[in-house]
Structure 1
Amino acid sequence: MADYDKYYKTEDLFGEPYPELIDFFTKLESKVKLIDLGCGQGRDSISLARLGYNVTGIDNSKVGIDQMISISEHEGLKLTGLVGDIYAFDNYQDFDIVLLDSMLHFEKQDLKRETDLIDKIAQRINKNGLICVCIQDTGNKVRILKDTIDNSGIVFEILNDSSLIYKYENKESGHKSETKYCMYIVKKKS
């Protein structure tokens, strides 16, 4: 696990959320309880709280959580930040939406832990709950994600299965990159 505290000394490290993600959540009628696993500095959590969602963000970086909470308090948002291990969290039944943005990589050393996490979320989220995953569309990652959800024994309806391009720019170094992502959102039916 990377120590993001040192990276998050650069505020707004990963920039703005994907426009496609914000567009999807803007169109949902009910602004419900959402948990953002691995929220980092809160780029998604803050934007979704601004839309009216009651957001809880969990990350192992105290620096990132403190930055997110500072913005939340300044703007009066419904946003709670918790420093903790996303793999140890269990209370998915308390949320209507679980968001994992760039948290799953399905590398050999993390494969079981990450697929177990998806399975745990699938089992515990309430009926009609949403699981939203933004994942790099490289190698077998998207297939592993979809297979894990399909093999959970739970019936899900696919609400979104789209591609997007993440544009990253480090202003200090001048480094720029574009990465293809998949945004996959499912709704628990049973």
Structure 2
Amino acid sequence: MDLYLAKKQESITGSERKYLMDNTYWDNYYSTMNEWIEPSQFAKDILPIADKGKVLIELGCGNGRDALFFAKNGLKVVAVDQSKIAISKLQSTYANENIEFIADDFVHSNVLGSDSFNYAYSRFTMHSITEEEQDILLQKVYDSLKINGKLFIEVRSVKDDIYGLGEEVGRNAYYYNEHYRRFIVLEELTQKLQSIGFQINKAVEANNFAIYKDENPIVIRVIAQKS
């Protein structure tokens, strides 16, 4: 068992252990990933409130489309993802002085150091980890942000159309279409953020934010600030 899986074993119990297979799932998925494509709508919406020259960490960068978009538009970016295949491709093609790609489990990564970043960005990755891991991550993100630093989250809601599909493996968590998803309750997320010390600048739950092909899920968007 590699270090990534060993870390996962520490915080996952019962049927959620099937989630450990996601590491292989995403490596297979990204082995055929396309070159840089259009950034997400969330990244486009966030860019105007992110100051050029500041440092942003992306928690789960996937094929790098949002990380590259931020770097192209004047931010310094550290992009972390568990898929070694995705990161290897990105490192060999796009790494430069404005962007660094790191293969690691973003929950436990030592990259999240004290007062290191102005922004943390998590799009469709918070629902890929367990609630226990989420709590660990949010505290680490808070500690890693500079004063007035912001956390940007877009995540699947319990109001999503696919909520409840597949095998139930935990509270609001399902194993469906070969990988794990945990659906988020907006009020619980904002309360958790506030208990850590974040101020909530924006919290919305709606569709038309993450349209993909014929899918238009209800998602949660939160902007939280360390004050």
Q: TM > 0.5 between the two?
A: yes
- Mapped contact 1:99–1:132 kept (Cα < 8 A): yes
Q: Is 2:121 the counterpart of 1:85?
A: no
Q: Is 2:217 the counterpart of 1:179?
A: yes
Quick one: distance in 1 between partners of 2:128 and 2:33? 27
Classify the secondary structure of the residue corresponding to 2:146: coil
1:38 alignment partner in structure 2: 60
Give the count of matched residue pairs.
Answer: 177
Quick one: distance in 1 between partners of 2:38 and 2:136? 29
Provide the TM-score with structure 1 as the length reference: 0.80
Unmatched segments (≥5 aa) in structure 1: 170-175
Quick one: distance in 1 between partners of 2:33 and 2:102? 18
CA RMSD of aligned residues (A): 2.5
Provide the TM-score with structure 2 as the length reference: 0.68
Letter of the 2:51 partner, please give it. Answer: E
| Aligned positions of 1:1-190 closer than 5 A | 1=20, 2=22, 3=24, 4-12=26-34, 16-73=38-95, 76=96, 78-89=98-109, 90-105=112-127, 110-139=130-159, 140-152=184-196, 154-158=197-201, 160-162=202-204, 163=206, 164-169=208-213, 176-189=214-227
- Mapped contact 1:105–1:141 kept (Cα < 8 A): no
How far the C-alpha of 1:16 sits from its partner, in A, is 3.3
Percent of paired sites with the same residue: 20
- Mapped contact 2:151–2:223 kept (Cα < 8 A): yes
- Mapped contact 2:42–2:154 kept (Cα < 8 A): no
Classify the secondary structure of the residue corresponding to 2:126: coil
After superposition, the Cα gap between the structure-2 partners of 1:14 and 1:167, relative to the gap in structure 1 and judged at 3 Å, is farther
1:172 alignment partner in structure 2: none
How far the C-alpha of 1:106 sits from its partner, in A, is 7.6
How far the C-alpha of 1:24 sits from its partner, in A, is 2.4
- Mapped contact 1:106–1:141 kept (Cα < 8 A): no
Unmatched segments (≥5 aa) in structure 2: 1-19, 160-183
1:9-42 per-residue CA deviation (whole Å, 9 max, x = no partner) reads 2324996333243232134334311110111111
Quick one: distance in 2 between partners of 1:84 and 1:8? 15
- Mapped contact 2:53–2:75 kept (Cα < 8 A): yes
Quick one: distance in 2 between partners of 1:168 and 1:129? 30
Quick one: distance in 2 between partners of 1:148 and 1:95? 21
